[in-house]
Chain A
Amino acid sequence: MKEKLKSLVLGLLVLASLTLSYALWYGSPPYEFSKPMASEPIHFSSSRSLQAMITPDRVVFHRGEGLYHVFTPGQELFQVGVNLFKNCLDALILMKPLEVMEAAGPDAGENENDAEGEEEVGEHLPPAGIRLDFPYPYPLEAPGQPPVDIAQFFLSLEGDEAWLKTPGGDYYALTLAGVGRDLLLRFDRAEGLPTYRLADEEDLPPEAAAVFTREVYLPEGEVGLPVQRWEQERLDVDRLLKVFFIDMSLVRRIDEKDGAVIYTDGQKGVRIYPAGAVEYTAAVAREGLLSGSPALAMAGEIIALYGGWTAGLYLWTPPGPEPPESRQQLLFTPYAGGRPLISSEGGVSLSVSSRGVQSYFRNVMLPANEPQGEPQGMLPLISAPEAFAKAVEYALQERVGMGPLRIQGFYPGYYLREPLSEHKQAVTAWFLELEGLGLVVMNAASGLPAAVLRF
């Protein structure tokens, strides 16, 4: 009898355990308890440091006697120049202020636009060397040295003299523990490089009210750009949304009539354009937007998080009404083979506050093929002096800005037409940079003005 009772109790206990297990397993606990926040790696790429983001817009190699070579982001010798610069900073022993000078650089004495003080500067500035121009000041924080921002850095070809210039125009002579000679030699030994000359007043249309505010280099001889195909970057939208929104169950979707899709939780919104561009805005006050190094440092992380750093994406500092370090809107544009792809709504544009990203626009085009170096793969451009004169003339005719034009750059690249459309098209162009204003875009095939871009 006792055994029968035991068997019965055991049976009941087994049944009870099955029932309880079922209730636990298939019961529906509230969402909040059943789905704790998951943490998964969400970065699209690794982030970039401030130092990695701030690059020069050109590396100028002066062989002496007015013979220049200019290298731009994405070109091999550009990167060699940047590495050389970093080596020099690592080897920095002493930084000594030079006399206050109005103009300086390896070009001193050669450009008519250089102002007074050449003789004093000339003693410190050898004619042949490598110069890096930073449109966005590079913050130098070397141990034992006062923090300074670098607008230009120069190293003589012999490696025995180096100086830097701040955005305010102060010069510092640098004493280095050593210089990467092998890197310097790569410049000296390079052959068949395209040559440039300094633009001067003779390149301007007659009686043009224009001045040079920075050295402008014009490529000599026939100029061509490699045939370059660009493709729209396609991001994993679901993954991107998980980065923008912590709780996806709060996110509603709006399908617009133009084919764009908006995702919003009421406080922030992401718009995915039909052609693939992404726009994010947060409904927080615009006060407290950051600029300068704090903003840029955050941008390095934000881009990694919201789509990632692509290989040719560089910080881009077009001329604008504010100095670069005061700007709250940061721009990044893709380069291929050393040439930028510029448009009114392309690349990455963002602003940040101490609370995070305030606005973020991403319309990145990726080089679909390596530039073809063969002659048949080159697109001929109208000559640099002709394009330059036409661009200046157009800017003067259209009265782009008040007073004399302040020319700060001129270079070839690609211009993206209709950047938000699915039928966007990249064409070769010459870009004239006007200080404080923006860019005049000239179609490099026809020589006709294509656009005026203001930033």
Chain B
Amino acid sequence: MDLTRAKTALILAFLALNLYLGYQLWYSTENYLSYLTVTSGEVEEVLGQLEEYNYHLSVPLPRQSYTMSLLSVQARDLDHEELVQALFAGGEPAVQEQEGETVYTGQEGTLVFPGKGRALYTREGPAEDSQPEGQELQSRGEEFLEEKGLLLPGANFGGLYPGPGDRMRALYFQAYEGFSLYTSFLELHFQGDQVAGFEIYWLEPLEYSGESRYVLPATQALRRFLELAGPAAAPEEITGLSLGYFSRDYDAQRWDVVPVWRITGASGWVVYINAFSGEEETS
């Protein structure tokens, strides 16, 4: 047998095989990247579309791509005793059961537990002689939470916005493995520079559900938003664009929340775009 000729034939055969495999690898990677990468051209195109529709994006446009799954959650069992002790340190509040709600009333205010995972607290606030600026208000709020031991684990500051009567509200979302759960929140209600109450709806993430898949890029979410919202009558500022989980709150045992792009405007509007399907998620 001619070993030299056999080696040459094998070299040629492997060369052809490697060329074929290399092409296959390049092809799949090329398609993979073209799907996942948000190009500068695309970013410019979307920003142009936003301007055309009278919107201005005042936050950076995320260009990363993510794989996410659905997330199973359930309403968290809030420790009623702990909350009562934290809020009514001065004395024993009166307790009443009203249509499935437990109501605690004392000098320090009223605390209601309307259902699993929920709590609503109101108290008399001071006369509204001053309205501190954002950063200061946030600090006041966090001081209150710290003092009462209410800083829930994984609570992330989600912004300040005006509530009824132009009284400010501070919103905290629950975070889970780097993403916010927009259904799960703690909202502080201010009166002047003091906390006059809060609302909690807190969830307990259980496990990821279903298959993991790539979510729509932010550019696509913004395009979908423009399709749904249409052109703005007056110039609007988009102040938030972030990825997280959301679903309407169900009176259920357990449910799945979906990955969403949360788009917020300066005037207080919020739109959730399902990051899998591109459909709007309503609360």
Among A3, A249, A265, the most chain B Cβ lie within 10 Å of the Cβ of A249
- Contact call B7/A23, Cβ cutoff below 8 A: no
- Contact call A33/B31, Cβ cutoff below 8 A: yes
- Contact call B32/A30, Cβ cutoff below 8 A: yes
Contact A10-B14, Cβ < 8 Å, known A255-B252, A265-B277: yes
On chain B, the number of residues with a Cβ less than 8 Å from chain A's Cβ atoms is 44
Residue A29 lies at the interface, judged by CB distance under 8 Å to chain B: yes
Residue B4 lies at the interface, judged by CB distance under 8 Å to chain A: yes
For B13, the closest partner residue in chain A by CB is A13
- Contact call B256/A253, Cβ cutoff below 8 A: yes
Residue B251 lies at the interface, judged by CB distance under 8 Å to chain A: yes
Contacts of A254 in B (CB 8 A): 250, 252, 254-256
- Contact call A33/B32, Cβ cutoff below 8 A: yes
Q: How far is the CA of A279 from the CA of B17 in the complex (A)?
A: 54
Among A250, A252, A267, the most chain B Cβ lie within 10 Å of the Cβ of A252
Q: How far is the CA of A266 from the CA of B272 in the complex (A)?
A: 12
- Contact call A24/B28, Cβ cutoff below 8 A: yes
Contacts of B214 in A (CB 8 A): 30-32
Which label, helix, strand, loop or mixed, suits the secondary structure of the A interface?
helix
Among B93-120, those with CB < 8 Å from A are none
Residue B191 lies at the interface, judged by CB distance under 8 Å to chain A: no
- Contact call B21/A24, Cβ cutoff below 8 A: yes
For B23, the closest partner residue in chain A by CB is A20
Contact A6-B277, Cβ < 8 Å, known A27-B28, A251-B210: no
Q: How far is the CA of A251 from the CA of B252 in the complex (A)?
A: 17
State which size class the interface on A falls in.
Answer: 20 to 34
Contacts of B18 in A (CB 8 A): 13, 16-17, 20
For A12, the closest partner residue in chain B by CB is B14
For B279, the closest partner residue in chain A by CB is A266
For B28, the closest partner residue in chain A by CB is A29
Among B1-34, those with CB < 8 Å from A are 3-4, 7-8, 10-11, 14-15, 17-18, 21-22, 24-25, 28-29, 31-32
A-B contact count (CB 8 A): 105
For B4, the closest partner residue in chain A by CB is A3
For A3, the closest partner residue in chain B by CB is B4
Chain B proximity mask over A224-265: 1 for CB below 8 Å, otherwise 0: 000000000000000000000000111111111100001001
Q: How far is the CA of A10 from the CA of B212 in the complex (A)?
A: 41
From the candidates A16, A24, A31, name the one contacting B213 in the complex (CB within 8 A): A31
Contacts of B211 in A (CB 8 A): 31, 248-249
Residue A14 lies at the interface, judged by CB distance under 8 Å to chain B: yes
From the candidates A13, A27, A267, name the one contacting B25 in the complex (CB within 8 A): A27
- Contact call A250/B276, Cβ cutoff below 8 A: yes
Residue B36 lies at the interface, judged by CB distance under 8 Å to chain A: yes
Contact A249-B213, Cβ < 8 Å, known A7-B7, A30-B35: yes
For B254, the closest partner residue in chain A by CB is A255
Q: How far is the CA of A108 from the CA of B25 in the complex (A)?
A: 83
Residue A42 lies at the interface, judged by CB distance under 8 Å to chain B: no
Contacts of B279 in A (CB 8 A): 266-267
Residue B70 lies at the interface, judged by CB distance under 8 Å to chain A: yes
Q: Please give 8 more A-B residue pairs, beta carbons under 8 A apart, in addition to A17-B21, A30-B35, A250-B276.
A: A10-B7, A13-B18, A20-B21, A27-B29, A30-B36, A249-B211, A257-B253, A266-B277
Q: What is B's interface to A at a CB cutoff of 8 Å? A: 3-4, 7-8, 10-11, 14-15, 17-18, 21-22, 24-25, 28-29, 31-32, 35-36, 67, 70, 72, 209-214, 247, 250-258, 274, 276-277, 279, 281
For this complex, 22 residue pairs linking A to B, each with C-beta atoms less than 8 Å apart, are A13-B11, A13-B15, A13-B18, A14-B14, A16-B14, A20-B21, A20-B25, A24-B25, A27-B25, A30-B35, A32-B35, A249-B210, A249-B213, A250-B276, A252-B255, A253-B72, A253-B209, A254-B254, A255-B254, A256-B252, A262-B252, A266-B279
Q: What is A's interface to B at a CB cutoff of 8 Å? A: 3, 6-7, 9-10, 13-14, 16-17, 20-21, 23-24, 27, 29-33, 248-257, 262, 265-267
